[in-house]
């Protein structure tokens, strides 16, 4: 985050919890799920312990949360959403214009380990 005026990720996540039904317009937009919020906060803390920064936190209209990164060589997205309620799922995808792999690991995966998320972000942040 080059803009030091940006709010910390934890504050942005807390703001998402105030979204009301219909926040996306035309009655679309579920309130953010408490379970998704707590899982996103847990992931953000682990990512920050790995000396990395979440660039963008976005609400999903289904009550989930996206954690996103843009790099010159790729876009990385971690999706946290209810699937099906009350359980949540985590999905990571990488859009890099070629293959979505680090070593032998496919990066479009359900339930990625925190190590895979950290290694993927590190891989693209060094370009």
Domain ranges for the chain, please list them: 9-125
Q: Longest C-alpha distance within the chain, in Å?
A: 44
pTM: 0.80
- Give Cα separations from 9 to 56, 57, 65, 66 (angstroms): 8, 7, 12, 12
Looking at per-residue confidence, does 19 or 98 come out higher? 19
pLDDT in tens, 76-100: 889 988 766 556 677 888 776 555 5
């Amino acid at each position: 985050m080059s803009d030091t005026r940006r709010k910390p990720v934890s504050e942005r996540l807390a703001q998402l919890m105030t979204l009301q039904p219909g926040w996306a317009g035309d009655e679309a937009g579920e309130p953010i799920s408490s379970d998704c919020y707590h899982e996103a906060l847990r992931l953000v803390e682990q990512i920050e312990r790995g000396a990395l920064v979440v660039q963008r936190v976005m609400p999903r209209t289904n009550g989930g949360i996206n954690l996103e990164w843009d790099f010159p060589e790729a876009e990385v997205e971690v999706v946290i959403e209810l699937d099906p309620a009350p359980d949540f799922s985590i999905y990571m995808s990488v859009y890099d214009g070629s293959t979505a792999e680090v070593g032998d690991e496919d990066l479009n995966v359900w339930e990625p380990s925190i190590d895979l998320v950290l290694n993927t972000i590190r891989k693209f942040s060094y370009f």
